[in-house]
A and B are shown apart, each in its own frame.
Chain A
């Protein structure tokens, strides 16, 4: 156990979607289908004041995990502790308090703003719901937040409807709504994916400032490893509903210990046109969260697969200081094999 204070801790968290759960399906009464194991046994501990990065294959369950953490999905199994209180069982007043503390920036800025709300009303709504401040204070706070996320002049944007905004502008409206309550924990699901690099830098600067000044803890979901490396203290890599590697940001990117992380790092495009990346191509079938392979989930596509990999699901191995990876290569039985999988990355150091 580390000496750090834990902010958000999950134990063996699972979220399965069952078929015919959506009402649409029920309406059309489609035949049975198996469960989608979107999150399947996740453990981690996000520390107070930390930026925790989460990356992984598209569809591996990152958004589902983030939403389950905020109690927006009912978890199938496992427990979630926020400031050491179990949030899966809380109701009433505790839940309301939690909703002011923990906020979500949603992935899709086109779907996540009510088209009938003006920007001003949308950003102000959290304050209304929790009846915070006087009317003037709320107005000031909203305008200030809009300014901070770079929607300037704030007055001009305040009266717009979301349909009149560009993708990046909407994304910033979503960020403003999440920040207006001054939360202590933030799930940021691809918060800057539609921002140009310069605006992105200023939003990241803002998040960094909040972290330093107010101790904001963030779960930062992104596909952009360069961004995570730049922003986060630690990074976790997810694959098919499970965390396969976790470690300090720089260390994990520079020296990945799981073959999937390695493939991710090597697939990250680089800006310098002179450098040819050595990509690790992932072969094999598309992963399917419905029919999981027995043994290691990455085995069907892993370039380093061995016979043992198919036998049982690997546990997390300690691979370096504070770094763990879910790969049998790190088992003592394989100590003689080439454990260092970090060979093919395109980094310069």
Chain B
């Protein structure tokens, strides 16, 4: 259904440099499939999602690669075609900043009604009724369709943004942290509703989130991004239980678990990779406790292990050793010591 090949998206900056926010991503989303996109903050998830429907800000640009959606390459379409045929009706986005996606001078209901009526031929009354229904389904009080966005709480705005994205029943939903402001009860309810809707209209979804448990419960596949690349890609059970990439392994250590009473969260030391001048070698190497010379010199290519489990790591075949070592605190703590300069900044270093 959606096939992304070697996608590169850059931001141009005032200093004349380029931020390589998406740096060679290959991904596939089948129909009626949910792909979870996780990864470090700032690694390019939002950029990737926006690049798919070409909604990058003015200083952003797709420099290479293709995005095939139902046999059309979206990077080739004109803006006009994209707006008329694809955005919203075929692919819609639930943006990360829900509140900002709503226009402050119109009531929330009026915005949804307008969206419905510009793309579909239906009466005003019908559109209002559908809006009320959507509100109801998302657990919002239908009397509040006439409220202005600033009168909504964070979670209510987020649900309104979801309503706006779903109102035209698109074939692909790009959801950028759709539930960050929702309590777990509503989150549960909405994720269930969205997945029901997905089955009903046979649509797919790319869901960006930091909540590993949400990913594990709702997604079929997971792609872990690091520094503009997909570091690891597999079905969700494999990623959760049997990951091979050291970054994924490190991420697992930092997740608080509600069933545990005492738990030490281990963070990955070091700074995120430089996206302006990507260095040779594996992007994670400077922070990786398992990095060897090869890792620092040669950029690893994606390699398929079991069926559908793709990893970008030179040492991914030593899976048992990696998994064992990565779960120990010392493994990540030692990093801080023997890497001198780079890592000492981690502990709030003031050295400049």
A positions within 8 Å CB-CB of B: 17, 22, 24-25, 30, 36, 55-60, 63-64, 107-108, 110-111, 140, 143-144, 147-148, 150, 152-155, 163-169, 171-172, 190, 193-202, 204-206, 223-227, 229-230, 250, 253-254, 263-265, 267-273, 279, 282, 286, 288, 290, 346-349
Contact = CB atoms under 8 A, between A and B. Distances in A.
Most buried by B among A56, A172, A195: A195
A197 B237 CA distance: 18
Most buried by A among B42, B99, B143, B159: B42
Contact of A144 (B39, B212, B348): B348
> Which 4 residue pairs of A and B lie closest in terms of their CB atoms, listed nearest first?
A168-B41, A58-B155, A110-B97, A201-B267
B98 to A, nearest CB: 8
Contacts of B253: 201
Contacts of A226: 213, 256-258
A207 to B, nearest CB: 12
Contacts, number: 214
Interface string B180-196: 11111111100000000
Given A270-B258, A271-B255, A347-B258, A194 B216 contact: no
A167 B46 contact: yes
15 contacts: A17-B151, A22-B151, A108-B99, A110-B96, A140-B350, A147-B348, A147-B349, A152-B272, A201-B253, A230-B263, A268-B184, A268-B213, A270-B217, A271-B216, A282-B185
Contacts of B230: none
B282 interface: no
Nearest to B176: A167
Most buried by A among B41, B97, B153, B241: B41
Interface of B: 11, 13, 38-43, 45-46, 57, 59, 96-97, 99-100, 104-105, 136, 139-141, 143, 146, 148, 150-156, 158-159, 177, 180-188, 210-214, 216-217, 236-237, 240-241, 250-251, 253-261, 263, 265-268, 271-272, 345-346, 348-350, 352
Contacts of B213: 226, 268-271
Contacts of A30: 146
Contact of A167 (B97, B158, B183, B266): B97
Given A24-B105, A110-B100, A225-B184, A58 B154 contact: yes
Nearest to A140: B350
Given A194-B210, A230-B256, A169 B42 contact: yes
Contacts of B187: 223, 267, 269
B153 A63 contact: yes
B141 A288 contact: yes
Contact of A197 (B181, B184, B255): B255
Nearest to B269: A202
A196 B155 contact: no
B350 A196 contact: no
Contacts of B272: 152
Contacts of A223: 181-184, 187
B11 to A, nearest CB: 7
Contacts of B210: 168, 193-197, 200
Contact of A349 (B57, B146, B251, B259): B259
Given A59-B155, A205-B267, A347-B259, A193 B180 contact: yes
A305 B325 CA distance: 51
B348 A269 contact: no
A275 to B, nearest CB: 9
A276 to B, nearest CB: 10
B251 A269 contact: no
A126 B187 CA distance: 36
Contact of A59 (B40, B105, B156, B259): B156
